Every structure is written in C-alpha cells, then in structure tokens.
Structure 1
Amino acid sequence: MDARAPDLQGDLTGWRQPRRDAPLSEVYRTVAVPRIGDNLPKLAAFMGPGYLVSVGYMDPGNWATSIAGGSKFGYTLLIVALVSNIMAIVLQSLSARLAIASGRDLAQACRDAFPKAVSVPLWLLAELAIVATDLAEVIGTAIGLNLLFGIPLEIGVVITALDVLLILYLLQLGFRYLEALVVALLGVIAVCFGVQISFADPVWADVIRGFAPTTQIVTNPEMLYLALGILGATVMPHNLYLHSAIVQTRSFGDSLPEKREALKFTSTDSTVALMFAMFINASILILAAAAFHTTGHLEVVALGEAHNLLSSLLGGAIAPILFGIALLCCGLMSAVAATLAGQAVMEGFLDIRLPVWLRRVVTRMVAIVPAAVVTIWYGESGTAQLLILSQVILSLQLSFAVIPLVMFTASKAKMGALVAPAWLVGLASLIAAVIVILNGKLLVGFLTG
C-alpha cells in the first residue's frame, strides 16, 4: 500500500494538519492479515508488536532498579511491578487505538495537533527518553559481554554499536523476522529466570504478600526513588511511540468494522505479551529478594556484583551463566525496540527520514559517550548508578508522552468512531495523574535535599 495514502477515514477534522507519510514507511502494512475466515489466523497475524513493546519490562536498566529494590526491600516493591503492568496495558491499548483510528503514530499526532512551540519540546523530551533507554542497553549489553566472555567494559561499550548490522539484516528479510527474534530471546530469558528462581527457592507466601499495597513506598524517599525507576523501566515513554508505529505494519482494512477488529486483536496481542513479560519483570525482583535480601546482602546494585553473588549464594556455575545470558539477550532485544522507536520519533516529529543505520549510529554515539566516560572513570559501581538514574529519567519523561496520548484518544474529532470510551479515558487520566504526582514528589525531594 502507498505509504503516502490519505487517512483511513478521510481527513479527521480534529487535526491541525493532514496526515502525511505513514509511520516506518518501509514496513508500513507489509504484514498480511486474512480478511475472511476464523479469528485464530487473524489473531496470529496481529501477534508480534506487543512482544516488541514488552521488551521494556526486561530493559537492562530495569534489572538495576529491580535488583536494587529486591536486595534492599525484599518483595515489597512487587506491588509496583504489578501496578506498572496494569498501567502499561491501559496505555498501550490507547497507543494502538490512536494508530488504528487516525493512521498516525504518537509522534505524528503530536506534530499534527500542536504548534511547533509545543511539538519541538516534546520531540526533544522523547529523544532524551530514547537516549536514556539506549544508555541502559549499552551498559547492560557491555556488562553481559563482560560476565560471559571477560570482555572489558570499555570495549564492550564500543561493540554494542555493531547491533545495527543485525537489525538492518532482519529488516531486509521482513518485519516478521524481527519479531521472531524478539520472541525467541524472550523465551530464552524466561527459561533462564525460571531456573535461577528454582535455585533461589523463595518463600512464596512472602512473594504473594509483596503484591499487597503499602504506604511505605510513598513515605520512604529511597523506596520511592526505586519505585519510580521500576515504573520508568516498565511503562517506557518510547514504547508508546513505538507501539503506535509498529501496529501499522499490519495490513488491516480501511472500513470501520475492519478497524474495530484490528483494535480487538492488537489489544489482545499487547495484553498477553505484557502479562507474559510480567513474569520476567517480577522474576528479577523475586530473584534479588530471595538470593540477596534474605541473606543480608541489602546493598546490591551493580549487575556484576549480583552475578558474582549468585555463584556463591546459590552454588554452582549455572546460575551466574544463566544470569549473563539473560542480560545479554535483554540488551540485544532492547536495541531492536529502541532503534525502531528512535526512527519513528524522528520521522514523526520532524518528517525527516534517515537510513536506519545512520539513525542507529547517531543514537548509539550519544549513549556510548557518557557510558564510556562513566565506565572508564568510575568503573562498574558508576555504571550501576547510571543505570538506575536512566530509569528515573524515563519516568520523569513519561508524563510528556502519556498526557498527549490521553488527550488525543479522548477526542472524537481526532478519533472518529473509535474514540476511547469514557471509562477508559477516566482510567487513563487517573494513571496520568498518579505519574505526575509521584514525579512531582520525587523532584521536590531532590530540590529539598
């Protein structure tokens, strides 16, 4: 289909500008969807984007915050992982709804709805979020290479730039191959954590109690800092831009019934994927709580330190090896998502189209420089703090992606017949308010020391 085709329902009247180029035009509507027949083949055609989005649960930065939270506070922050998962499901469903209804991704929607005085700052904030994401991936992948193969962190940071070759190759084969890689890596990570948790043997009654709400998270500044890091690593700003772009790789029809069907299958895909990723996200924290907190190791932050402790605490060599394999898979998988998100954000906000390799090189260079400086100057302890800080930066940027998303999907003029129902708008607005309030509390805490 022509990437410059008009909006699916004509030009919806709520936008200041008409829709121009389609998101990620080289893969736009390249995945065929059966128009007739049973629902199962149709659902299978829509499965994939949700798993790319779920990568946010396993970003290496999330490892740092979850390991720090689990070792320091045990299972207490599991409730944050659960709430973050619910928030992610709601917000990603809105992201898909925006794409299917308007034919725009979130970046294009911001460009077409706001004046430049608003859209340009939003673009800069989105780019900052992607750099923070990429920074976590650079550090996490470098640590994974170091743990498995003994490659020095400084060299590992440079090697991470080469993943662009893998992404380019898979994009040439087709978008489905890229999704297949992510699903395969997810499977490897799930197996690795399943085995490690069986070695750690957590007290499952305590794990269940960890999902109960507690006021400590808000009243304890250190716990709130880590909680926001987990929130930022789970409900990532770039995921909202990414999902609204890659949903449109599916060649669904232009009629309202076909779009409603596409929304149903897309929401199912993202919900199932995020629930599966919930297992991974919670597993990181459970492993840290069971292996470190219960044995008195309350200040574990560095991934390398966690790797070394697993060997002595759980016994044998298999647990730390699985830890390193899972970390390396996370870094590679997150690189795929960040590359596509960066491309969608730049093209959507600025209508500038760069080759994927150039976009990847630019993004990675911005992330590699601070990662290399911190690694050389402060060593592994510095990279651990930088990982956690990157996730808090993501959390602080989240409001600037969530609020426009809720505004757009609540507007009948922009969404037409697929405008979000009142209950969903209300729930999403509550989520946005919680994010703003928690981030405000964090900033006040910083300013007041």
Structure 2
Amino acid sequence: MLKSRLKTLLLAASVTLMAASLISFPQESFDASIRGLNMWWEIVFPSLLPFFIVSEMLIGFGVVRFIGVLLEPLMRPLFKVPGVGGFVWAMGMASGYPAGAKLTARLRQEKQLTKIEAERLVSFTNSSNPLFIFGAVSVGFFYNVQLGIILALAHYLGNISVGLIMRFYGKNEESLDKEKESKLSIRAAFSALHRTRIKDNRPIGKLLGDAVTSSIQTLLMIGGFIILFSVINKLLFHLHITAFLAQFIEIALGMLGMTEMLSMPFISGLFEITLGSQMTSQVQDATLMHQAIITSFILAFSGFSVQAQVASILAQTDIRFQPFFVARILHGFFAAFYTFILWKPVYVRFFESGQPSNALPVMEYLSTEGGRLADAHNTLITVGPLITILSLITYVLILGSRILTQK
C-alpha cells in the first residue's frame, strides 16, 4: 500500500512539475515541440510508413509464416526464437525503431510467438536503420561518412551479441517440450503460407485498408512521444536537472580518460538520440574516437523516447517491458565496446589518414554506400513532409468511408 501511494505521489508531482515548467518556459517548449514535429513528419513518418504497411500485408498473406519455416533451423539454435524472428530482425534493421517492437507484438497477437520468445525477440530486433546512422549522424552531424561504417558495425554487432545473451532468458519459464529439431522444407513453408492466407480470409482491399490505418495510428502515437520527449529534454535542461545528472557522469568519463564535456550530450542522448548525437558531435575538446564511443552507446540505448514508444506498443500484449530495457543497457555497452576495439583496425587503418593503396575493396564499397544513404536521407527530408500529408489525407478518407459504411 505504501509503495502504491509513493508511486501515486511521484507521478502526480512529476506531472505538476512538467505543467509548471511549460508555463515558465513557453517559448522553449514551443521550439522543442516544433523540432520534434519536424523530425517526425520529415523523417520518421515517411521512412517507417512503407515498412509498416508492407509488413502488415506480408503477415496477412502468410509470407512471414513462409519465411519463418525456412529460417527456423537458423533462428532457433542461435537465438531460441522461431524462424519468423528472422523477418522481424531484418525489417527492424532496415526500417529502424520501433519497427521490431511493432512486428513482435503483431506476431504475438497472431500467436506465432510465445510470451518468452516475444520478449527475447523484441530485445535484439530494435535498432537504428542505416539511413539514420549514415545520413543523419555520420554526415549530418559529424560530416564524415566513413564514421558511419564504425557506428553501423558496432551497432549491429551489439544487436547480435544481445540476441545471443537473451537466448538464455526465461529458460525456467519455458516448457521443455517446446524444443524440437527443425529441418529446412520448402514444401512445409508453402503449406504454412497457404494455411495462413486461408485463415486470414480478408479481401485484398480490406487487408490494405487495415494495414494503412493500423500503420498510421501507430505512427501518430510515435509522433506524440517524439514531441513529448523533445519538450521534456528541453525543460530538463532549463531546470538544470540535466546539469545535475551530468555531474555523476563526469566522474565515470574521467575514469575512462574522456573529457567531462561529453557528460551533457550523454545525458541528453539518454532521453532523445538525435539531440544527444548532435550535441556529442559538437564537443570540440573530445577526440573523434571518444565521440564515436558515446554516440554508439546513445544509438544502442535508443533513448527513453523510443523506449516509451516500445512500452506503449508492448502494452497491447502480454510482453513485458523489463527484458527490453535491460537489453538496451547491454546493447549500449556492447556497441561502445565494439567501437573501441574496431577503431584502430578499421577506422584508423583505412580512413583516418586518407584512403591507403592497400585498402580492402569492401571498405571502398561501404564508404560509397554510406554516401548514397546520406543522399537518400537528404532527399527524404525534402519530400518527407509531402508523403506525410498525403498519407494522412488517405488515412482520413479510409476512416471516413468506414464510419459512413457502419452507419
């Protein structure tokens, strides 16, 4: 009872403080809201919407079940999740947060995952997409496309490491008879695809409409969280709470041989990854390696803003949030560690003093691809708002037609 009352008091005090801060800093709050809104409608909405819609249709048509049967012999031994986890993993890396959580929740609702399997899967399938790592962070903030190679390698290697560790999660809660040998079978995969499509039994038009409305509803929720945490981050700065928390981080950074100036960007990055990455790139007293290490941690931890989005998505199922949160901390440390150990053999050797004559072709390829991703990111910022507006108009039309039909 006491714990419940303390929680009520804490929540009430937090909301009251936020309301008072909004009144005290109206212009700063407005500017932060605009910044969050611009980020959502220029980048997040247009980049995630196609993946969400296509994913919903792939699930409805049974293609995900087909992929799951084929990938079962790979995903089960490595990560102790069904083969459909391979689809979620790939889509999560391609589209970015919080696509992995949305797809995991969707498959859990379809009962293609057990509760423990879903909690394992969501822990390592939420990641930043290459477009953001190369376009926004490497080029937009650091003006260094080669840095994106280190950040991407560390980020995705960290994801794999988290997945390998999380395979041991929930062993006591999992039924022992669940484990069984699975062999690659094209025939079984096609059979599963057909059964899933027949079971769904929605016309193509209805399936497409449901995919659009579900995806846009999720993206509207994501937009609300982005704007909210953009404002919270700004208010914490003006209330000097960020500076207070940074004092404790300064001690840890000093022990690691890093400049104390990275403490403020680190705290900001714990709340919102874009602002934290941008502030880290602007610290002049830090070496590029130290900036990359801090940025890798921020990208992997994914910020409380993304974590709140994931928590909201998982709340629609019985998937617990705590394993995801622990996995984000692990991912942060893994990504920072991989950045440190890969810095000299990869970045210093191939990029720091210009492109050497003995550079590996793969490094040249990755550098070229990073530049293309950066160009794609800039293009997305230009056409993104138009895509967002047209999509919202389509959503309103579909919703309106369904309301009129019901009447």
TM-score bracket, shorter-length normalisation: under 0.3
Length-normalised TM-score, structure 2 = 0.26
Higher Rg of the two aligned structures: 2
Higher RCO (CA-CA < 8 Å; seq separation 6+): 1
